[in-house]
A and B are shown apart, each in its own frame.
Chain A
């Protein structure tokens, strides 16, 4: 009669079988892993600095394959920091979030918006801090926002929304027209970029010292595309540049601005305030 194997013998046999299978599958798995990483189906490991900052439970979740759930939870936590205007904690939270999901452009856009627009606005208004400290932090948050945006663009080079948010920081907070024009210029042609970025590139180029002629040529090229581009702001900007660059009178534009959809609807039978005449 066949004697059953002892428990030790079984464990040794199992270990040997597992090792043999492991040796066979390891190269296959490495090749698959490379394929998955190349196709952006597997996320790269989070940065060491992000792992150090994570709480124990977040780290366990991340290691346990719940990376997307952990990052969603951290985004909720970030919203809490935003509500409490705790900008340092918000930045630290998003350091982890962007490290966990570097390919999600929404996270990069959000932190640029929080630091570049909300935190800087808070520094403009917060009277509890001395003036010099508010100015220092305003600069700090704006620069951190730019740093996040640049890292985000490195991770998602085709992202339009990160650049749109970056342009807003340069435009609204740092009042840097040249940089604003540059970012709007980068946006042109990107998938999902709004149509207005072509015009905005020209408008801010016109305000960038020393680049007025370039702006004039660019805006004129837009104008020549046809009536769809004959918008009031574009015409006004061209006319301002014509004055500034002393363009001869025969070369100056004579155009009636195109009406916006709201203006078109509000025509004829509508009084100011949207009151319709029956």
Chain B
């Protein structure tokens, strides 16, 4: 009997071991999934927050008002980015199991690493779009306020000299919009990417989304505070050996999220060198790569 003659028994089509197109398909479906969760409604709240802060009348000078507006807007952007990264990533895999989408996907020739990469990619695309929109809104608000303050300075021409007005305008411009602020948004993106990779690792082990969210927030807080708290603990305990060992273990196991807070410095006027950006991008890529690989230890042979 000639088996190869039967179309039903023809050899299986060869499937590429790793496909970017499969990853992008999963990523785009994740984006659609997140958009349907009405994620972008947050942007409306963000715009209202900026409008409210822009109209607060407590600042003692235009420069301070602009500085406050920048700090609140970039602080809110940062908060949204990491919180969204945790919640969205923690919800995605359990929802796919609940909707039975996961079974359909994994019954196709899709590698599990591709599935994880696609999910992570989708979350990161939504975060990037949100940060970009928030950056545009906040830039518009800052420039609008800045122009208003500068116009008000020029209105005082009758009572002040040209030099005095120029000095005030310079102060306002220094506190106002700078092109480098885009790097502050980029810093928030890098931080949320690492947070998402940690959450995806935890979600491969966890039995519920709630558990993943709580533990991820805890990891984030510890990762943010351990550098800050190290000196205090060591001082309080007279450099106790046990405390030193605990701190070392924490430092090794938990990502140092404080590093990714360099957006605060940019918002306050510090200049950022391209080398710093490259290094931060490099370490973020390393986190994503390693955490995804580690996620496979649990997810690779997980039965659903």
- The chain A residues found within 8 Å of chain B, CB to CB, are 2, 4-5, 10-11, 13-15, 17-19, 21-23, 25-26, 28-29, 32-33, 35-36, 39-43, 45-46, 48, 51, 60, 63-69, 71-72, 75-76, 79, 101, 103-104, 106, 109-110, 113, 161, 192-196, 260-262, 265
Query: A40 with B265: in contact, given A69-B75, A69-B79 (CB under 8 Å)?
Result: yes
- Whole-angstrom CA separation of A17 from B296 in the bound complex: 12
Select from chain A the residue with minimum beta-carbon distance to B298. A10
CB distance from B160 to the nearest CB of A (A): 7
* A–B Cβ pairs within 8 angstroms, 29 of them: A13-B297, A14-B297, A17-B290, A17-B293, A25-B283, A32-B279, A33-B227, A33-B256, A36-B262, A39-B265, A40-B265, A41-B266, A41-B272, A41-B276, A46-B228, A60-B221, A63-B224, A65-B258, A67-B264, A68-B75, A68-B267, A68-B268, A103-B268, A103-B270, A106-B64, A194-B163, A195-B163, A196-B164, A261-B161
Query: A39 with B75: in contact, given A17-B294, A262-B158 (CB under 8 Å)?
Result: no
- Whole-angstrom CA separation of A63 from B227 in the bound complex: 10
B75 and A72: CB pair below 8 A?
Answer: yes
Select from chain B the residue with minimum beta-carbon distance to A82. B58
- Whole-angstrom CA separation of A23 from B248 in the bound complex: 10
**Binary flags per residue of B192-205, CB closer than 8 Å to A gives 1, else 0:** 00000000010001
Q: Which of B171, B290, B293, B297 contacts A10 (CB 8 A)?
A: B297
Q: List the one stretch of B33-41, B65-73, B104-112, B120-128 in contact with chain A.
A: B65-73
B262 and A29: CB pair below 8 A?
Answer: no
A19 and B253: CB pair below 8 A?
Answer: yes
Q: List B254-304 residues whose CB lies under 8 Å from chain A.
A: 256-259, 261-262, 264-273, 275-276, 279-280, 283, 286, 290, 293-294, 297-298, 301-303
- Whole-angstrom CA separation of A62 from B256 in the bound complex: 15
B75 and A66: CB pair below 8 A?
Answer: yes
A69 and B76: CB pair below 8 A?
Answer: yes
Across-interface contacts of B214 in A (CB, < 8 A): none
B261 and A22: CB pair below 8 A?
Answer: no
Q: List B220-259 residues whose CB lies under 8 Å from chain A.
A: 220-221, 224-225, 227-229, 231-232, 235, 251-253, 256-259
Interface flag for B159 (CB, 8 Å): yes
CB distance from A85 to the nearest CB of B (A): 16
- Whole-angstrom CA separation of A30 from B150 in the bound complex: 42
CB distance from B151 to the nearest CB of A (A): 18
Query: A63 with B164: in contact, given A35-B276, A106-B63, A192-B171 (CB under 8 Å)?
Result: no
CB distance from B106 to the nearest CB of A (A): 15
- Whole-angstrom CA separation of A262 from B79 in the bound complex: 49
Interface flag for B25 (CB, 8 Å): no
**3 closest Cβ contacts across the A-B interface?**
A22-B252, A41-B265, A69-B75
Select from chain A the residue with minimum beta-carbon distance to B250. A22
8 extra A-B contacts, CB within 8 A, seeds A10-B297, A45-B231, A195-B167? A5-B297, A14-B205, A18-B252, A33-B256, A60-B221, A68-B267, A113-B60, A192-B167
CB distance from A2 to the nearest CB of B (A): 8
A40 and B270: CB pair below 8 A?
Answer: yes
Q: Indicate the size class of the contact surface on chain B.
A: 35 or more
B270 and A68: CB pair below 8 A?
Answer: no
B261 and A67: CB pair below 8 A?
Answer: yes
Across-interface contacts of A17 in B (CB, < 8 A): 290, 293-294, 297
Select from chain A the residue with minimum beta-carbon distance to B262. A41
- Whole-angstrom CA separation of A101 from B265 in the bound complex: 10
CB distance from A66 to the nearest CB of B (A): 6
CB distance from A75 to the nearest CB of B (A): 7
Interface flag for B61 (CB, 8 Å): yes
- Whole-angstrom CA separation of A21 from B41 in the bound complex: 38
Select from chain B the residue with minimum beta-carbon distance to A266. B158
A104 and B79: CB pair below 8 A?
Answer: no
Across-interface contacts of B114 in A (CB, < 8 A): none
A22 and B259: CB pair below 8 A?
Answer: no
A79 and B174: CB pair below 8 A?
Answer: no
